[in-house]
Structure 1
Amino acid sequence: MNSSHKKSALKENDGIEQPDSISASSVEQIQKFRRKQPTAEELIANILKGDKTALSRAITLVESTSEKHLEKANDIIKGCLPYANQSIRIGITGVPGVGKSTFIEAFGKYLTSIGKKVAVLAVDPSSSISHGSILGDKTRMEELVKDENAYIRPSASGESLGGVARKTRETIILCEACGFDTILIETVGVGQSETAVHSMVDFFLLLNLAGAGDELQGIKRGIMEMADLIVINKADGDNVKRARLAKTEYNRALHLFPIKNSGWSPKVTTCSALHNEGIAEVWETITEYFNLTKENHYFEQKRKEQNQYWLIETINEQLKQHFYNHPEVQKLLEENKKAVQNNEISPFAAAQLLLNMYHK
């Protein structure tokens, strides 16, 4: 038999034809959805009804750096502004590892149990290398995120030095319009730029740990002067004694600071967020503060100062954005970067050159 007529041992059977990897109906549905993006008026109406989905969409628009979203975002802010300012704003800060997320969840659950509506604006640090953020606060606060009377919005800090997202101020307005009467702002961590947080809240709470150099930490100005309440967390188990000692040290340190304009004497307390101990006492202290400041009219004065601060910050932000988006500035900036690197021109002279060109 001729070898050329032999059948091969390898045989390929006809396969089953694979369906298209993209469903035409799914594409149509997605396109239909994209075409039906809600208008600013629709978002405002739904926010005022307490719709969390509309609130999230509006915040996304406000946080967007796209020029095409700016006008719509401004319309939403304008529409919600008359319904804002009906909440109390509490800034919560502390060093990484102090238990901010655990404390906020325990505190938030307590507030919703007494009839409050709580919005948590949690700011995650952005990587200076990848510019990304984990945004894991919803995962860490798994009980609070399921609460109907709570709303958690994690945002990336971006290039903001204050540990506050670029649009946190506008987000507060939207949350207040949505009916949230208690706004908790969690910051990245303790630093000089916490002034930004202090300037947008009514009450500033500093979380701390026992045995972390309490005497030295207690006499540091800046963050300590801004705090209205110092809460020593993780006061449980073998740490109870150290927490009490730290409380005494902080109380001594606070007496060194001048009296606040609010007339309030900052207090120190201990708690265990993990075991839900001391949480109610924290709220009692905050309530005491608000009763005092509303009675002596400092609360209204502070709100006016906040609005003024927001005005200046927004102007600074818009000027910076407009400067760096200017086509001529972008071109000249790249040229001067190389010149500065090669020591052909000083950074100061290059900056003045760019500013002079921008102002023409």
Structure 2
Amino acid sequence: MKKDKLNPKDNQDNPEIFNAAVLKKIQQVRNSQPSIEVLISGILSGEISALSRAITLIESNNKNHFAKANSIINTCLPYANQSVRIGITGVPGAGKSTFIEAFGKHLSSLGKKTAVLTIDPTSSISHGSILGDKTRMDELSKDPNTYIRPSASGDTLGGVARKTRETIILCEAAGFDVIIIETVGVGQNEIAVHSMVDFFLLLQIAGAGDELQGIKRGVIEIADAIVINKSDGDNIAKTEQAKAELNRALHFFPPKKSGWTPIVSSCSAKNHQGITEIQQIITDYIELTKSNTYFDKKRAEQNEFWLLETINEQLKQNFYGNTEIQNLLEKTKKAVQNNESSPFAAAQLLIETYFNSKDQSCS
């Protein structure tokens, strides 16, 4: 009788040796954290394992990891700021992953090291994310010059993960020349990713209805280039029409502070056509903005923006992490739901309680 490989009872003549001590040792190794010095040394040496573990550390919500993460970021900061940061967004189905894979392979062929930070949407119901970007970019994930790091967006607006800004610093310190950030989707909140990149690219497709209705005005305003993907086969004529419509639309927007005029281009990421031209557009933008000093001014403004954002985030975390607030919050929620209190009065009560608790702890 043929043995059923799926039934363990049929394989008892060749039992798997189970050693609890060995298993415990493996778990200990996996759970052990290398020292901050080891992680920093590894990052500066370009070790991907050290970079990944450090990113996991800064993404952690564990309060014990906060000081370690800050120490790593502060030490790596002097080695950062040498890359070109590119934000890529687009409507669903625009082929962002296919485009990034083609673009990343092109950059690798030029000898450039590229870090791709992909942001997967977090479910508002299960609070989980698929994080399947490495699967969608199979060829690029095997490229030795490329590092792909998927992260969950969490409850962060703007389609970017909470710690994306810090992750950029670590990737730059690890020696990556180009940092690509792929956002969740398209909308007004894309301002978040725009505030951490040098060049913002909007990926679009033709033939999916009114091109100008498929995207938000705010995204067009901040885009440095609009690229219409899937320009191949029968779609070429539709692509040319969409390019003409978008070019006309761009004339109604005010001039950019950078002195750059946004460009509408097209490509076929699947066929690797038009990728070189897009890379040249980005190069031209960087050269222009560096020559007129806008590049450095923008990065300085971004640093200021993220200072204020970090303060807001830390205050929010401290507020909801306060024990008194946690105990009072459920009561105030029920009071608001039962119309026993207005949301504004309840919020004021919680805020006053928070500051009173802080004053008592300081006295």
Instruction: Quickly name the TM-score band, shorter chain normalised.
Output: over 0.9
CA contact (8 A) 1:218 1:254 kept: no
Matching residue of 1:25: 22
Partner of 2:247: 251
Pair 1:339-2:335 in alignment: yes
Q: Percent identity?
A: 67
CA distance in structure 1 between the aligned counterparts of 2:31 and 2:183, rounded to whole angstroms: 34
Change (3 A) 1:160 1:24: same
Deviating above 6 A after TM superposition, structure 1's stretches of 4 or more consecutive aligned residues are 15-20
Contact persistence 2:91–2:215 (CA under 8 A): no
Larger radius of gyration: 1
- What secondary structure sits across from 1:144 in the alignment? helix
Partner of 1:199: 195
Matched-pair contact (CA < 8 Å) for 2:114–2:179: yes
Gap change, CA 1:348 and 1:78, over 3 Å in 2:
same
Query: Cα–Cα, structure 1 residues 124 and 131, in superposed 2: closer, same or farther, change >3 Å?
Result: same
1:63 and 2:59 correspond: yes
Amino acid at match of 1:26: L
**Structure 1 residue matching 2:269: 3-state secondary structure:** coil
Residues 97-246 of structure 1: pairs in structure 2 closer than 5 A: 97-214=93-210, 216-217=212-213, 221-246=217-242
SS in 1 for 2:86: strand
Please, which runs of 5 or more residues in structure 1 have no aligned partner? Answer: 1-14
Equivalent residues of 1:218, 1:253 under 8 A apart = no
Does the 8 Å contact 1:215/1:253 carry over to 2?
no
Normalised to the residue count of structure 1, the TM-score between the two structures is: 0.93
| Displacement of 1:221 | 2.5
Which amino acid counterpart does residue 276 of structure 1 have in structure 2?
A: H
Alpha-carbon displacement from aligned partner over 1:312-339 (angstroms, at most 9, x marks no partner): 1100110000000000001110110111
Task: Output the aligned Cα RMSD.
Answer: 1.7
In structure 1, distance between residues paired with 2:341 and 2:347 = 10
User: How far has the Cα of 1:214 moved from its partner?
Assistant: 4.1
Q: Distance in 2 between matches of 1:251 and 1:150?
A: 33
Secondary structure (helix, strand or coil) at the match of 2:157 reads coil
- Aligned residues of 2:212 and 2:246 also touching (Cα < 8 A): no
Count of aligned pairs between the two proteins = 345
Match for residue 41 of structure 1? Answer: 37
Q: CA deviation at 1:211?
A: 2.2
Give 1:119 shift. 0.3
Q: Distance in 2 between matches of 1:214 and 1:249?
A: 10
Separation of aligned partners in 1, 2:136 and 2:260? 33
* Distance of aligned partners of 1:219 and 1:53 in 2 relative to their CA distance in 1, 3 Å threshold: closer
The superposition leaves residues 167-223 of structure 1 with CA deviations (integer Å, 9 ceiling, x where unpaired) of 000000000000001000000000111010111110000000112344634995211
TM-score, L = length of structure 2: 0.92
Q: For residues 339 and 156 of structure 1, what CA distance do their matches in structure 2 show?
A: 33
Which amino acid is the alignment partner of residue 260 of structure 2?
Answer: W
Q: Which amino acid aligns with 1:244?
A: E
Relative to 1, partners in 2 of residues 1:18 and 1:118: Cα closer, same or farther, differing over 3 Å?
closer
Counterpart amino acid of residue 27 in structure 2: I
